[in-house]
Amino acid sequence: SHRRRGPSIIREFGMDPIIRSCIFEPNVPYTLFVYVDRNLPPYHGGSLSSIDFVGPVDSTVGLTPQLAPRSIEFTDTDPDAGHIGGIVTIERAFTEDDIAEYVLYLGRQEHIVGSSIRVVHADGTSHYALSLRHVDIKQSGADSLLVFARNEHGSALEGRSAALQDASLLLLAPPMVSCAHAPDG
């Protein structure tokens, strides 16, 4: 009967493809309401059940860091075209209870390009400064730096990004134009 199956359906709600596609914030309480009715007509007389849970639903996601660093800042100081260099500043996550380190990547359109370029141990300081020297961005087509929190179970699902502006392409002042000869006039 549908009434006997209701509790088991509620217990197994985490396997439901619709529920699994939802993004639940970690440590936020939720209530799921499910109306359970017959599998075949006539449909009526079902039961409404609820379950309280705290996000995230997927327990494997709960093992990886749940928080992203608060921010990342970078200004390129490398004068060579297609290369970046300078200091990357990462503001730590609100809490680092489940964070072992922060991992820096090159990114293109918010996706990781290649392997990590720097890693810094999470030690509780408010800001982490990483030095980059002559990192090639031309070959990868990178347009951003991405940083993710990581622990022994893997990386957080969300990170932060900083847009890249190659210093060699910046004009420090409007271009000056001069003529060797005065125009005829």
Q: Specify burial of residue 11 (Cβ count, 10 A radius: 0-12, 13-18, 19+).
A: exposed
- d(CA 139, CA 67) in angstroms, rounded, equals 31
The yes-or-no verdict on residue 5 having pLDDT over 60 is: no
Q: What is the mean pLDDT of residues 52-58?
A: 66
Quote the pTM value: 0.61
> Tell me, what amino acid is at 2?
H
Q: Decide: 163 and 143 in contact? Cβ < 8 Å.
A: yes
The yes-or-no verdict on residue 116 having pLDDT over 80 is: yes
> Model confidence over 72-109: pLDDT tens digits?
999 999 999 899 999 999 999 988 989 999 999 999 98
- Token representation of residue 85: 């260099």
Q: How many CB atoms lie within 10 A of CB 83?
A: 18
> In which residue are the tokens 């509790």 written?
7
Q: What is the DSSP letter of 147?
A: E
The yes-or-no verdict on residue 19 having pLDDT over 80 is: no
In the prediction, which pLDDT does 4 show? 46
